[in-house]
Structure 1
Amino acid sequence: MRTDYHIHLHESNGLSLEWLKVYVEAAQAAGIEEIGISEHAYFFDETAGILTHPWAERRRTLKFKDYVALYEAAQAANLPVRFGLEMDYIPGKEEAIARFIERYPFDYVIGSVHWIGDWGIDLAEFRDEYERRKIDEVYEAYFDQVVTLAESRLFQFVGHIDLVKIFGYRPKDGAFLEAQYDRVVAALQKNGTLIEVSTAGLRKPVGEIYPSPQLLEKCRAAGVGIVLSSDAHHPKHVGYRFEEAVALAKAVGYTEIHRFEGRRAIPVPLD
């Protein structure tokens, strides 16, 4: 079975059943049997107070009832769509995040780290910040948050787990980077948090799948489960270069991916 659970609609053409059907058609053409909508949480008024950066505040224009209505319409139309969300993990906001999540019947919630303090690490407008900071300290701060994200047990899987490499900046010390991976994998394994194998990085400056083969291999050895994701922001991205993601997962020893119902991970064969 093939799935793609990291799907965004709003920025390309809004939240409508007609637009969602275009995504479903694109998925079916790519051999994907089930998708999940996972809009960015910061778009919704109900998440005010979680991610408070002005960049996000300017984009908070939606009501969550409309998102729920979209999913209900998809169910009524018998579309193979799961109900998800991508939530920015912000340290110290765990209680607010938990209250929000518990209000709605999610099939899964993706936890992602996009911010180190007030720095949006994957935003092109803030890219120069990498030149002003020590890269080892950036990676350590980033993976600190991935560890506490897992420890929060609020999320079913981590989005683009090594997103910090997006612009190609990396520590020079391989042993340092391996130590970061090891502590992240230990936190994932202990807390039952999965990761996505995401082809989004192939569309970014780094030109690589998230995560790196080394990190994915460590996850496999620790028994950390995986999800296939494209992080689609347009129908043409659905299932983007999934054969490469599947090949990487198989190369490090994975034989299963996971689908979700009611925030419960269900293993299915990786074919």
Structure 2
Amino acid sequence: MLTDYHNHLENGTLTMDYLQKFTDAAAAKGIGSFGISEHAYHFYQTADILQNPWVNERRFYDMKDYVALFQEAWNKGMDVKMSIEMDYTPGKHAEMEKFIQSYAFDYVIGSIHWVGDFGIDLAEYRKEWDRRDVNEVYKKYFDQVVTLAESNLFDIVGHLDLVKIFKYVPKDEEFLLEQYERATDALANSKTCVEISSAGLRKPVGELYPDKRLLQKCFDKNIPIVLSSDAHFPEHVGADFDQSLALAKEVGYNTIMTFSNGERKEYPLG
């Protein structure tokens, strides 16, 4: 069994024709469980959760249109999961929970893209990395991983160490491993799975998310995994899954989680 649960339609349209380009790509790659997880910040219904100038310029969808697209797909017999990728926002647990419970998502991804007002993975903010203390950013980032896990609102945590995207990494390995340790302790006590994301191979860091040492801690603490590509274009669906599978098996994984209607089921990997 292969999954690809982290995919975006935002560079195209919320139409059956565009959606089918993704599902066709997934079928061609032998992906047995496939889902779309559009960024929650694109939807008017999340305005009470996350507000900043960058996000506010990109809020242009209505959830009724998103849900209608999936309903149309299911009516046509298309096997595609409906999900959302939500920016985990400290202090907004009640609002996030209300939004999540308002829709029949097959699963929900929680991701961290913002450390305060700092968009850690955005090209527009890249120079900020040179103005900030890398250790402090990592500490605050993994603080959010911990509280994301403790919230138990999410089925999957997206690109667990996205913070490394531009190759800014603490020089103190002991400090870095401490962040990995506390993040995985929190995840192990939650319902949250970790995705192995091939998207990092297409980013400046040039490697999978998460780091092998971090994934090893996940395995050692019995944290389940899914596979994802974070495709923003159909051609990236299932990209480089050979590397994702190799990493998963190298650290010891031999099973994968699938999701449907909010329920998860374990299958042999690959």
Alignment of 1:3-152 (within 5 A): 3-10=3-10, 12-152=11-151
Alignment of 1:216-231 (within 5 A): 216-231=215-230
Aligned counterparts of 1:192 and 1:27: Cα–Cα separation in 2: 26
User: How far apart are 1:26 and its partner, in Å?
Assistant: 0.8
Q: 1:2 corresponds to which residue?
A: 2
Q: 2:237 corresponds to which residue?
A: 238
SS in 1 for 2:258: strand
SS in 2 for 1:31: coil
Aligned counterparts of 1:265 and 1:163: Cα–Cα separation in 2: 25
Report the residue type matching 1:34 in the other structure. Answer: S
**Structure 1 contact 157–193 (Cα < 8 Å) conserved:** yes
Show CA shifts across 1:141-171 (max 9, x none). Answer: 0000010000000000100000000000000
SS in 1 for 2:84: strand
Show CA shifts across 1:100-122 (max 9, x none). Answer: 11111011010000000111100
**Structure 1 contact 33–80 (Cα < 8 Å) conserved:** no
**Structure 2 contact 165–204 (Cα < 8 Å) conserved:** yes
User: How far apart are 1:99 and its partner, in Å?
Assistant: 0.4
**Structure 2 contact 154–191 (Cα < 8 Å) conserved:** no
SS in 2 for 1:109: strand
SS in 2 for 1:191: coil
Give % identity.
54
TM-score scaled to structure 2, two decimals?
0.99
Show CA shifts across 1:212-250 (max 9, x none). Answer: 000000100000000100000000010000010001000
1:181 aligns with 2:180: yes
Report the residue type matching 1:177 in the other structure. Answer: L
**Structure 1 contact 229–239 (Cα < 8 Å) conserved:** yes
Aligned counterparts of 1:265 and 1:178: Cα–Cα separation in 2: 29
User: How far apart are 1:28 and its partner, in Å?
Assistant: 1.3
**Structure 1 contact 259–267 (Cα < 8 Å) conserved:** yes
User: How far apart are 1:30 and its partner, in Å?
Assistant: 1.3
Aligned counterparts of 1:124 and 1:249: Cα–Cα separation in 2: 29
User: How far apart are 1:2 and its partner, in Å?
Assistant: 1.1
Gaps of 5+ in 1: none
Aligned counterparts of 1:267 and 1:181: Cα–Cα separation in 2: 25
**Structure 1 contact 3–33 (Cα < 8 Å) conserved:** yes
Aligned counterparts of 2:65 and 2:243: Cα–Cα separation in 1: 35
Gaps of 5+ in 2: none
User: How far apart are 1:34 and its partner, in Å?
Assistant: 2.4
Q: 2:247 corresponds to which residue?
A: 248
Show CA shifts across 1:236-265 (max 9, x none). Answer: 010000010001000000001111012222
Misfit runs of 4+, over 6 Å: none
